[in-house]
Amino acid sequence: MLKFIPRHEFETLANQHHRGQKLRKVSRWSQFVALSLGQLAGRASLRDIVSNLSAQTAKLYHLGSASVTSTTLARVNESQPYTLYEALFHKLLSRCQGLAPRHGFRFKNKLYSLDATTIDLCLSVFPWARFGSTKGAVKVHVGLDHDGFLPSFVTVTDGKTHDVTVGRTLDLPAESIVVMDRAYNDYSWFNALNDKGIFFVTRQKRNALYRVVERHHVLKDKGLTSDQTIVITGSNAGKCPVALRRIGYRDPETGKHYVFLTNNFRLAARTIADIYKARWQIELFFKCIKQNLKIKTFVGTSRNAVLTQIWIAMCAYLLLAWIKFNSRIDQSLQQMIRLLQLNLFERRELLPLLKGEPPGPPEASPQAELRFS
């Protein structure tokens, strides 16, 4: 798996993101190997990771790594910048984007879902992450690209940062479609997106004030209840002076009624409803990484150590995505991790392993073939 990360690229990034004197007892590569093992093998603590590596000392040489102690690893996690793994994440992301399958809609626009997940922390252990009077938290903000369901935009902030504050900073491409829940309702931002040629789909707030300018015909057999052109009124009128589209939809399965707002007048009303329904993929993404990678419990207590672990988890996710795109297998991330956990230090081809094919006969060593005459 580590062959997918060119070593010279990693070392270049490691030199760019180094602080203090030269490391003597451990390298950044050894740190990456150790913490990646923690992610893929589900190790719970630094001591657990180090014990696991110690049991594989003979194989670490072939990985370009070396055994480490928990004290040394903890010191590197605390002192060396997490930005190395943020930069590595973007390198891996650019590779994955070239292989990712397209989203399932007919339109050619890029489609993104925005959301954030809060990771609770114990305030007495992580005092820098104060979220309330009695608890701490960090928040992971993600812009999920529906081409391959890749986390194209990732930002980690303190728990108090509002979702829309991060949303405003994203550099989304023109003509793209971004879908989000009501936490991102900001009429000034909607107007800014419209000026940049970016389409948005969101749910309308219940207390929104608006005036209907035009009503459009809807196909009620598709669950649509309304399709209107509106303008915002009240105190928010000046924040978003452009006309918006208001679409009502009743889910035939649950009977729940939804009202969507968008600045896209080209797509069919049912397509807008389906776009919002596809936003559920980002919820599945958060569920996937929380259940299968180590981003809820941490092996360090400093801010740098926590961010290092989160960014390495994101790198591990992209490594698995890259393998999945290349091999074109149907296994979920959870199934892939379960297979890899039992074979992390076995020298086997990945594709037969992930397809469930039995291993071939072991290769005979040249020494075993020597015969005395």
| CATH number (domain holding residue 273) | 3.90.350.10
Residue 307 belongs to some domain of the structure: yes
- Say if residue 120 is in the same domain as residue 216: yes
- Say if residue 86 is in the same domain as residue 52: yes
Q: Which of 262, 285, 308 is the last residue of a domain?
A: 285
Residue 18 belongs to some domain of the structure: yes
Kindly report, residue by residue over 35-63, the tens digit of the pLDDT. Answer: 999 998 888 889 999 998 888 888 887 78
Half-sphere exposure of residue 94: CA atoms within 13 angstroms, side-chain side? 6
Using alpha carbons, select from 324, 331, 329 the residue that is nearest to residue 99: 324
- Say if residue 57 is in the same domain as residue 187: no
What is the CA angle 308-312-315, rounded to 5? Answer: 145
pLDDT at position 359? 64
- Say if residue 123 is in the same domain as residue 203: yes
Residue 368 belongs to some domain of the structure: no
Confidence of residue 367 (pLDDT cuts 50, 70, 90): very low
List b or e across 146-176, with b for residues whose CB sees 16 or more CB atoms inside 10 angstroms. bbbbbbbbbbbbebeeebbebbeebebeeeb
| Total structural domains within the chain | 2
- Say if residue 250 is in the same domain as residue 178: yes
pLDDT at position 362? 54
Q: What is the mean pLDDT of residues 128-138?
A: 90
Q: What is the mean pLDDT of residues 6-33?
A: 92
Q: Identify the domain containing residue 260 by its residue range.
A: 104-285
Mean pLDDT (the chain) is 91
Q: What is the mean pLDDT of residues 27-36?
A: 94
Residue 365 belongs to some domain of the structure: no
- Say if residue 251 is in the same domain as residue 149: yes
Kindly report, residue by residue over 171-230, the tens digit of the pLDDT. Answer: 999 999 999 999 999 999 999 999 999 999 999 999 999 999 999 999 999 999 999 999
- Say if residue 148 is in the same domain as residue 252: yes
| DSSP bridge pairs for 119 | 138
- Say if residue 125 is in the same domain as residue 179: yes
Neighbour tally for 1: CB within 10 Å: 15
- Say if residue 143 is in the same domain as residue 12: no
Residue 98 belongs to some domain of the structure: no
Residue 25 belongs to some domain of the structure: yes
Kindly report, residue by residue over 337-357, the tens digit of the pLDDT. Answer: 888 877 787 777 777 777 777
Residue 362 belongs to some domain of the structure: no
Phi and psi, residue 101, nearest 5° = -70, 155
- Say if residue 109 is in the same domain as residue 82: no
- Say if residue 47 is in the same domain as residue 85: yes
Give Cα separations from 350 to 42, 111, 178, 339, 356 (angstroms).
19, 31, 35, 10, 10
Confidence of residue 170 (pLDDT cuts 50, 70, 90): very high
Which amino acid, 245? Answer: R
Residue 80: pLDDT above 70?
Answer: yes
Q: Which of 76-90, 190-204, 261-275, 315-329 has the lowest mean pLDDT?
A: 315-329
Residue 95 belongs to some domain of the structure: no
- Say if residue 125 is in the same domain as residue 271: yes
pLDDT at position 319? 93
